[in-house]
Amino acid sequence: MSLLQQIKEKDLLKAPSNALQKEAMSTFLAKGIPSRKHEEWKYFSFKNTFEQELVWADNLNSQPPINTQLHAIQANRLVFINGKLASQYSQLLDQIPGLIVSSIAEASTNHSNLLNAYFGKLAATTNESLNALNTAFDPQGSFVYVPQGAICKHPFFIQHITAATEQASFSQIRNLWVIEANAQAHFIESYESIGEKLSLTNVVSEIAVAENAVVNAYKLQQQQSAAQLNHYTQINQAAHSNVKQITISISGAIIRNNLHFKLNGTAANCVLHGLYVTDKKRLVDNHTRVDHVSPHCTSDEKYKGILLDESTAVFNGKIQVHLDAQKTAAYQRNQNILLSDHATIYTKPQLEIFADDVKCTHGATIGRLDEKSLFYLRSRGIPENVAKSMLLKAYAKDITDLIEEPELTQLISQFIEDNI
Amino acid sequence: MTEESNIIDQVVSQEYQYGFSTVIEMETAPKGLNEDIVRFISAKKNEPEWLLNYRLKAYKHWLTLDEPNWQNFNYPPIDFQNIIYYAAPKEKVKLNSLDEVDPELLKTFEKLGISLTEQKRLTGVAVDAVFDSVSIATTFKDQLREKGVIFCSMSEAVHEHPELVQQYLGSVVPYTDNYFAALNAAVFSDGSFVYIPKGVRCPMELSTYFRINAENTGQFERTLIIADDQSYVSYLEGCTAPMRDENQLHAAVVELIAHTHAEIKYSTVQNWYPGDKDGKGGIYNFVTKRGNCEGDYAKISWTQVETGSAITWKYPSCVLKGNHSNGEFFSVAVTNNAQLADTGTKMIHIGSHTKSRIVSKGISAGKSHNTYRGLVKVASKATDARNYTQCDSMLIGDRSGAHTFPYIEVSNSSAVVEHEASTSKIGEDQIFYCNQRGIGTEEAIGLIVNGFCKEVLNQLPMEFAVEAQKLLAVSLEGSVG
């Protein structure tokens, strides 16, 4: 049975759901899987994947061995396998009164008021049918609540593993993080998969950042060659808050990121940087959107790509400056290096501006490795592949330098060295 | 603040100076569109069978299409049955010289500053004037003919050079291209036809002046320019329309073909009636313009100064087929009051070593919105393609908007593509700097805006650069404080 049919059947079977789920399901059924005719899905669609016979990961009960390389990082750790919390891998180091770190399922029984105050309130479902699909079923994933003024010493490391060892599988993940006023927290998210079978993971993250809070979030996407990932992230920022989100996409068949920032309070700052490396026939699609709703906010966006073989990358950055968001400063760059004549990049740095006192710049470049630099290195006896790798590492350094976790930076540099 | 609002008031109350209409006996087709109207237009123009068939094919295709809705603005639906598709001044015999043109018509063009008789003789510009659906007169035809240059109205070309028209019509913009191109192919009335033979450098600027006069009419002209090997031509079009409360549709198609080593420079100064300050009336300017660089080393350059129209929706494009061919696009779009502009370009790199350059300057004032939408596409075989894009927007007044949608699609690793854009308003510090040096605010703004647009205005032929600068001054005079 195709995944789409399974979804419809599962919806009928499940217990009477709440209003949010009901509405989300009807949105999903009405809108369907976005096709390539949809402007936001111009270059690829998940339609084919939904026609495949994927097994709902709820029905899988495997506990395969997982990659623990990043467990070296001293962190408050939550590990999810097919959306279920694997407590044997999880740990909590920071003992702060009021801090909640749990699975969403647990939070819905223990902290239902808190959860309901935020859940489904940030990420839009009306125009995003895959979000609606995620919202329509019981959520699985992480819940982190950082109370007012708390400064978390250790990062939160949240590892999501999709297992598709025996059967093609489908799973949905939900993250909800709330960072209260004056608090500080760091997050490391890793999306991984196990097994060579086709898998599709549909993720929705909601992050609410209150006044003066500081959040650093690093997202690492490294999946198996048949794994597909759709990740929608909505970050809402209150006044004077600072958020840095770095997205590193290094492997997996298809990665689609929707990263949306909404700067609701004055003088909120956000940094969204990304690095994507694609090879073979893979595809990475980064759609970002920054809504400048309030005045005096800044956004700094930079995405860099390295494209090999017959791969495809899509970048669509949208900055929307609303009517009264005066004194906005928005900066957006997308840079790409094509290492093959069969790789394709589609980029669209987009600005929509409704206020006059703003400074907005955006730019995009596409090119290949500088031949002069390559020649410089070669003439000093450095072999071609080493020289190339040096230049690419330097190119990626802009992004990786912003990651304040040495283990993670090391992992990414290693990946570039190994793969190029 | 009071000074600022005074100045804004002044600009808002600026009247459209070409808003008069001419009382002249007209012959029009009945309202509405059906197969009979298409046949009627074709019969009126005494067209050969193949052209009628082409129109009918286009009409049938148009019926199968839906109006596009991806644009970055809304407009009330157009009632295509409420438009007159053909309107022509009544005339009994074919005119041989300007002396025989209805004096009322000549007066109209005189008023527009386009004297068909005197003025242009001095400046040495050949003019083709299109009044509603027909071409009124083309000047300097004989002088051009000596060089072998063909410059005439489309209807004339159909009869006198059918082989050229048949070969090239629809070869760049097929009727299947889009909704408005299909409509135009079905009902196009007149327009200009230019053919520059091999090795000829056209001795003067060619120019077409379009005027919508009749009420409830749509203007659907079609321009076709062919530059054969090693030739050069510079062409300019200008447009005006009377002030009317209803919106009028202008859906033209322009096709350019540049062969090996040929160069076409196409400039537009568009000043259709923009509607009143509340956005009532005005022209919908929905135009398809495209040029093919067929041969190696061919070059096509688009320059546009867009100040009029209630809605402008057009993307003059270059298809760079020939190796080493070159495409350029220079644009200034100024919107004021409730005007909307969604404009830009498409550069399609197919041949190797192709180059393109895009410079777009958008200025939005009042409640207007100005959108740049562009596509740069490098096909996988286009080695060593090069593109540079710069699009800057300037905002005047806090109710205006500036939007940028650049699409970049590259499939070749040797391509170098750059895109740069910025949005800003005129800085208080810039004005202050000028004030300090004894330059009044008004003048300072003129200085800054002109500097902002200079790169584009410099591309225009001399006489028109002056006209464009004046237009800019009229559209924006003092709108910043």
Predicted-complex ipTM score: 0.81
* pLDDT for B175 beyond 80: yes
Kindly list the residues from chain A whose CB atom is less than 8 angstroms away from the CB atom of residue B415.
338, 366-367
Distance CA A304, CA A364 (A): 10
For A349, name the nearest residue in chain B, comparing CA atoms only: B406
Kindly list the residues from chain B whose CB atom is less than 8 angstroms away from the CB atom of residue A366.
408, 410, 415-418
For B364, name the nearest residue in chain A, comparing CA atoms only: A356
Please give the pLDDT value at position B7.
45
- To the nearest whole Å, the CA of B428 is away from the closest chain A CA by 10
* B residues 422-441 lying closer than 8 A (beta carbon) to A: 422-425
Q: Give the start-to-end residue ranges of the domains of chain A.
A: 3-265, 284-368
Contact: B406, A348; criterion CB under 8 Å: yes
Kindly list the residues from chain A whose CB atom is less than 8 angstroms away from the CB atom of residue B423.
351, 353, 358-361
Q: Residues A364, A347: contact at Cβ < 8 Å?
A: yes
Provide the mean pLDDT of chain A.
90
Q: Residues B343, B306: contact at Cβ < 8 Å?
A: yes
Within chain A, which residues score under 50 in pLDDT? none
Interchain CB contacts (distance < 8 Å): A and B: 114
Distance CA A187, CA A193 (A): 20
Please give the pLDDT value at position B18.
65
Kindly list the residues from chain A whose CB atom is less than 8 angstroms away from the CB atom of residue B424.
358-360
Please give the pLDDT value at position B91.
52
* pLDDT for B41 beyond 50: yes
Kindly list the residues from chain A whose CB atom is less than 8 angstroms away from the CB atom of residue B399.
323
Kindly list the residues from chain A whose CB atom is less than 8 angstroms away from the CB atom of residue B385.
none
Please give the pLDDT value at position B139.
66
* pLDDT for B397 beyond 80: no
- Per-residue pLDDT band for B17 (boundaries 50, 70, 90) equals low
Q: Closest CB to B423: pick one of A345, A347, A353.
A: A353
Q: Does B267 touch chain A (CB under 8 A)?
A: no
* Sequence-distant (≥ 6) Cβ neighbours of residue A218 within 8 angstroms: A186, A187, A188, A189, A246, A248, A403, A405, A408
For B167, the 3-state DSSP assignment is: helix
Q: Tell me phi and psi for residue B6, to 5 degrees.
A: -60, -45
Residues of chain A above pLDDT 70, percent: 98
Please give the pLDDT value at position A241.
96
* pLDDT for B353 beyond 90: yes
For A371, name the nearest residue in chain B, comparing CA atoms only: B414
Q: Closest CB to B419: pick one of A338, A343, A363.
A: A363
* Sequence-distant (≥ 6) Cβ neighbours of residue B479 within 8 angstroms: B7, B8, B11, B336, B365, B366, B396, B397, B445
Kindly list the residues from chain B whose CB atom is less than 8 angstroms away from the CB atom of residue A356.
395-398, 400, 425
Q: Tens of pLDDT along A368-407?
A: 888 899 999 999 999 998 999 889 989 998 898 888 888 8
Q: Tens of pLDDT along A247-267?
A: 999 888 999 999 999 999 999
- To the nearest whole Å, the CA of B382 is away from the closest chain A CA by 10
Helix (H) or strand (E) holding A377: helix A371-378
Q: Tens of pLDDT along B211-223?
A: 666 666 677 888 9
Kindly list the residues from chain B whose CB atom is less than 8 angstroms away from the CB atom of residue A342.
380, 411
Contact: A361, B417; criterion CB under 8 Å: no
pTM (predicted TM-score):
0.84
Please give the pLDDT value at position B13.
44
Q: Tens of pLDDT along B227-254?
A: 999 999 998 887 666 666 677 788 889 9
- To the nearest whole Å, the CA of B4 is away from the closest chain A CA by 15
Please give the pLDDT value at position B123.
46
Please give the pLDDT value at position B31.
79
Please give the pLDDT value at position A196.
86
Contact: A350, B70; criterion CB under 8 Å: no
Q: Tell me phi and psi for residue B121, to 5 degrees.
A: -60, -35
For A367, name the nearest residue in chain B, comparing CA atoms only: B416
* pLDDT for B435 beyond 50: yes
Please give the pLDDT value at position B323.
94
Contact: B404, A336; criterion CB under 8 Å: no
Please give the pLDDT value at position B348.
95
Q: Tens of pLDDT along B273-318?
A: 777 777 777 888 889 999 999 999 999 999 988 887 888 888 999 9
